[in-house]
Structure 1
Amino acid sequence: MPLVHTYVWEGLDDDRAKQIILGITKVFTDLGIPAEAVRVIIQEVPKSRWGIAGELASERKPRHQDK
């Protein structure tokens, strides 16, 4: 049974979470694994606890890839 644990910044709405879960599940079903066997955990992390290039995400200037 595949288990995918993904980390995202805090503030993810339910619709976006559903899209992420469906997309990850589709990757496995495309490989022939039944959707019922796929588990996805989405863990939200505050930007103040997320580091990028030696900086806190909460202190970085917004960049396109940070969205």
Structure 2
Amino acid sequence: MKEERKESLNLAYRYYETEDYKRKDQLSSGLAETHEQVNDAYIEGEIRQTNNGANGQDLPD
């Protein structure tokens, strides 16, 4: 039981490392993919639709 808990904690405290792109295990693959998605979203930024009035003026949200 103690060994299972230790293994679970090792997985829970695992974070992305650049080597994850080269590793073949499921956890590394998931961390690398999630890192790529977050990075893409950060680089792209937020795209917000503006509310334009009849004269093209921005209206409050």
User: Which band: TM-score by shorter chain?
Assistant: 0.3 to 0.5
From the CA coordinates, give the structure whose radius of gyration is larger. Answer: 2
Name the TM-score, length of structure 2 as normaliser: 0.33
Name the TM-score, length of structure 1 as normaliser: 0.31
Q: Which has the higher contact order (CA 8 A, sep 6+)?
A: 1
Higher relative strand content? 1
Higher relative helix content? 2
